Structure 1
Amino acid sequence: MQRYGMTIPFDGLPLHAQREAIVELADRGYTDVWSSEADGADAFTPLALASVWAPTLRLGNAIVPAYTRGPATLAQCVASLADAAPGRVAIGIGSSSNVIVERWNDIPFEEPYKRVRDVVRFLRTALTGEKVKQAYDTFEVKGFKLGRVPEEQPKIMIAALREGMLRLAGREGDGAIINWLSADDVRQVAPIVHAEGEGKEVVARIFVAPTTDADTVRAMGRYAIAAYLNVPVYAAFHEWVGRGEVLAPMWDAWKAGDRKAALEAIPDEVVDQLIVHGSPEECREHIGRYVENGVTCPALAVLPFGLDPVQAARDLAPDQ
């Protein structure tokens, strides 16, 4: 079955007012809803609501940071969601970024590969109800035993950018969650995951603006791209996929403190590669290229570019 997801919650609506919109996603052919966690809603509450409102939808996190909850607390959060929606949960664990982890949460952003690996290994054990007494490389758990074990184990996905984490996702995760990349970049990324294990998922968080106002998308898209691609982990990823030369002027201006010049240095072609826009039909065709290149579940994220996100979800629905 081809999966097709939408990011929730929708911008502009309080959580308690989103029931009809989420039910409509299921009615229009969406198979998944995916949450994120940065400075808005947490990664679990929107999915808990959706688990009751739309019981056919799979519930995924894209992503939960590996640092910002202690291991035992994270296991409880994951187990509670999996217990509420048996067989419908895919937990995405990732390193997040130095901005969210260090600057916002005052937690050292150290050894991200090892931290993600250790959290995934801990969850694999803890979610079965086995008592955990283990010194991992990045933390130690001294005798935690989960008191509420889910009937069905959730999938555990790993957010991955470059080769090391992609291999980890294929080897120890149920697949990878990828982000801020073009459809063509998927050809470089997906095979690394699949080489580590058959049947692994590749979920892509795809930023979408279904509008033919290309000037607005490019102008506003530059702000979104600058906000992410100047974060070290994303900058390194885009160098790895071969976008270093075209993005170097933006990185140089940003490091010099000239934000205006940094925005102006982002070429239209980069915006068009990383943000899906155009008519709904053009957007669906572009999303289809991600799938053709190896994405098993597009997880769409409607950008707040003056669009009604609920109408955008209707326009992008797979049943159109």
Structure 2
Amino acid sequence: MSTATAPREQATAATPPPKAPKPKRRKASSGSVAGVLAPTMLTRIGLIGVAILSIFPMYWMIVIASRTTTDASGFPPALLPGGNLGVHVQEALTNPEANLMLGLRNSLIITGTVTISVVLLSTIIGFAFAKLRFRGSKILMGTVLFSMMVPLQQLGMVPLYMVMVELEWLDTLQAAILPFLINGFGVFLMRQYVEQAVPDEIIEAARIDGASTLGIWWRIVLPALRPAMVVLGLLTFMLNWNEFLWPFMVLSDENPTVQLAIRQISTATWSADLSMVFTGTLISIIPIAILFVIFGRQIVHGIMEGSGK
């Protein structure tokens, strides 16, 4: 009896257990591809409509800038560009009352200086708040957050103007630069990004290898912050390039920024020449458009990476 059951037991032990059935994959529905929802026709129409609404102001500005004021104010209005754009651009750049060329130069100096300062100082201070432990860091960070809640145009203009008067900096570029060299938003953004993008283990390993704090910031932190630096740099550039109120308070018509120069074009006569105003506005957005063309991919990458963190 035992000799008969032994071969059966050996055969049973040699037979592998049956495999569990694989779970069946759900087939992608007709409205999705590889698990990603495909846009419906209604979604496509909506996106096309949003794109048209976004592009139309730019197109309308080109139409008005290339035509006369009579064409712009007529009914029905002209919908196609005219042939006067080149003439209007030349008139806007050479108009002695507007000083548009000087305004472009001043705006480039002011905005470029402020952008570089905000990006570099924000990375340094954000790195310090995120990875360095020092006494009073929470109080200082709270002060930074509080500064983001204070409306500068309502509460800070008069004190800042009085400081510029005491320094005798009115009608100078440093008066338009100094108040914007650092801001709380940039520090907060970089602090949050450093906490997520730079692990503590990497910093500790660098310290064991003998790297200094400045070396860690330069070799480890800055390369990791490039996407956030591009986003912060573009936002800062746009904000300061379009700034009007503060330069209007501290600069004169003989030393304007590009926004003040456009204002001078609109007030040069008793009735504004819309074609010249739109031409000046079209010229003023060229630097921002160039930045979007150059850094557009990095901007999208930085925003998507930041949202993923």
TM category (shorter chain) comes to under 0.3
More strand by share: 1
Give the structure-2-normalised TM-score: 0.23
User: Which structure dedicates a bigger proportion of its chain to helix?
Assistant: 2
Task: Report which structure shows greater RCO (CA 8 Å, sep ≥6).
Answer: 2
Using the size of structure 1 for normalisation, the TM-score is 0.23
